[in-house]
Structure 1
Amino acid sequence: MLLCTDVGNTNIKFALYKGNELLMKMRFSTNRSKTADDYAVDLYTIFRINNVDVSEINGSIISSVVPIVTDLLRKAILTVANVDSFVVGPGIKTGLDIRLDNPGAVGSDIVCMCVALKELYPCPVIVVGMGTATTILYVNENKAYCGGMILPGVQISLDALTTRCALLPSVNFSAPQHSIGTNTADCIKSGIIYGNAAMIDGIIDRFEAEVGKKCTLVATGGLAQHIVKFCKKNIIVNDDLVLEGLRLIYNKNL
């Protein structure tokens, strides 16, 4: 089995693959103050709960946007499963053509997403990644990553709004019945849900106008399911893009 690990700013996601088949997914919160031993205990526990035989894990690959956690998890995986991990970064074969000013500065999560996109969907593709930050990326008809846009994530925006405005309450991500809110909570929900949906629709229009092509539209990330269903565009939701990209990159490095 192959263990794929996606370290984000908020959550760490794990997936176990047998060949191309996704067997299971797990996650826990990213904690920068934990030690390698702490993460080993977390991993051991989650494997035991899910009846995973760690002796069957014979490969591991990590994508991380939290450098301080990367080596800790690599050590934890070695302790628990007795396998060393590839880490997506310099020296790793990805097969991705990156047409940016500084290709080496591209985050490993973005690399993994683009690798998965060009294998799984007709290009050109626009992908909306909705995690701690919202990223909107463009992969052209030649399957090259050409850049995109980074915005404050939905949760960050909501937290900033309710933290900086003393009289505004915290709300959940349930959509109000109408876009024109009639109370403070519904006004905030409308702005967060419908506002982000309209923003995504509008940015897709701008991207497609700029490149002069209609694109396949994909969304990923923990918050995508809450927002994308209110977009007017036909957007495919795939929450496993980074994990799928990790699986593909691992196979390129065997």
Structure 2
Amino acid sequence: MILTIDIGNTNIVVGGIDKDKTHFIERISTVRTKTELEYAIDIKLLLDIYKIKADQIEGGIISSVVPQITNIVKIAAEKILKTEVMVLAAGVKTGLNIKIDNPAQLGADLVANAVAGIHNYPVPLIIIDMGTATTLSVVDEKKQYIGGMILPGPRISLDALTARASQLSGISLEAPKHIVGKNTIECMKSGIVYSNAAAMDGMIERIEEEIGCKATVVATGGLAKSIIPHCKREVILDEELMLKGLYIIYEKNKQ
């Protein structure tokens, strides 16, 4: 088993995975002021909850979009695992052919998603990752990463709405009973959930128009399960996609 860690702006996704299955996947809050020891305690607590001993884990790999804490989390993981932990960065073999203006700008999380997507699903492929931001990645029929798009995530949209409208209180991100809301809370929930689902349907349609063919669509990320079931297009929900990609990359690079 290896330990996979994906550091996002809001959450850090920690998982244990081997070639046969995912043993666990959990989220902890991304806190930029935490120390190495505090993150080490978080990791140790997760392993204890799942009754996994450090010596059962052969190594680890990190992807991160928060460079300020990448090394802090790396050192924290190494304190627990007692072995070097890999960081997905320049120089790490991924096998992904990236066809964008500056391949170095592509986030490690999107690289891992694409690697797993190509390995597990037919191409061409559209990968939706719904977190702090919603990203769409496009892989063509030659298994090349050709680009994508970034838009505000559902939670950002909801927070912005409640912050700017004094009469609107914070609400949970879940679909109401009716698309046409009967009160303010229902109207807000419907607006956020169904507008994001409709946006995904529309973006998929436009991407397919540009690439000239139908694509397999896969969604992942912490907020995907709140939005994707309301899409009209068929979208595969794979909450373990990132972990699978990190595992594949780890196997390509381990000594």
Q: Which moved more, 1:183-192 or 1:19-28?
A: 19-28
Q: Which moved more, 1:17-26 or 1:119-128?
A: 17-26
| Superposition misfits of 4+ residues, deviation over 4 angstroms | none
Q: Over residues 74-98 of structure 1, what are the superposed CA-to-partner deviations in whole Å (9 max), with x where a residue is unaligned?
A: 1111111101111001110000000
Find the counterpart in structure 1 of residue 176 from structure 2.
176
Instruction: Tell me, yes or no, if structure 1 residue 118 matches structure 2 residue 83.
Output: no
- Secondary structure of the equivalent of 1:55? helix
Root-mean-square deviation over aligned CA pairs: 1.1
Residues in 2 aligned to 1:31 and 1:25: alpha-carbon distance in whole angstroms? 19
**Counterpart code for 1:106:** L
Find the counterpart in structure 2 of residue 162 from structure 1.
162
Deviation (angstroms), 1:49? 2.5
Q: Over residues 149-191 of structure 1, what are the superposed CA-to-partner deviations in whole Å (9 max), with x where a residue is unaligned?
A: 1001100010000001111222212212222222211111111
Deviation (angstroms), 1:17? 2.0
**Counterpart code for 1:143:** K
Find the counterpart in structure 2 of residue 190 from structure 1.
190
Q: Which runs of 5+ in 2 are unaligned?
A: none
Find the counterpart in structure 2 of residue 208 from structure 1.
208
- Secondary structure of the equivalent of 1:148? strand
Residues in 2 aligned to 1:173 and 1:216: alpha-carbon distance in whole angstroms? 26
Find the counterpart in structure 1 of residue 228 from structure 2.
228
Deviation (angstroms), 1:101? 0.4
Find the counterpart in structure 1 of residue 12 from structure 2.
12
Residues in 1 aligned to 2:251 and 2:112: alpha-carbon distance in whole angstroms? 13
Residues in 1 aligned to 2:77 and 2:177: alpha-carbon distance in whole angstroms? 46
- Secondary structure of the equivalent of 1:86? strand
When normalised by structure 1's length, the TM-score is 0.97
Deviation (angstroms), 1:13? 1.2
Identity of aligned residues (%): 46
- Secondary structure of the equivalent of 1:244? helix
Find the counterpart in structure 1 of residue 37 from structure 2.
37
Find the counterpart in structure 2 of residue 237 from structure 1.
237
Deviation (angstroms), 1:24? 1.7
**Counterpart code for 1:177:** K
When normalised by structure 2's length, the TM-score is 0.97
- Secondary structure of the equivalent of 1:61? strand
Contact 2:17/2:243 (8 A) holds in 1 = no
**Counterpart code for 1:54:** A
Q: Which moved more, 1:187-196 or 1:13-22?
A: 13-22
Instruction: Tell me, yes or no, if structure 1 residue 75 matches structure 2 residue 63.
Output: no
**Counterpart code for 1:99:** K
Find the counterpart in structure 2 of residue 153 from structure 1.
153
- Secondary structure of the equivalent of 2:192? helix
Find the counterpart in structure 1 of residue 25 from structure 2.
25
Q: Over residues 5-37 of structure 1, what are the superposed CA-to-partner deviations in whole Å (9 max), with x where a residue is unaligned?
A: 111111111111233422222321111100101
Deviation (angstroms), 1:243? 0.9
- The count of aligned residue pairs is 254
**Counterpart code for 2:245:** G
- Secondary structure of the equivalent of 2:90? coil
Residues in 1 aligned to 2:20 and 2:93: alpha-carbon distance in whole angstroms? 19
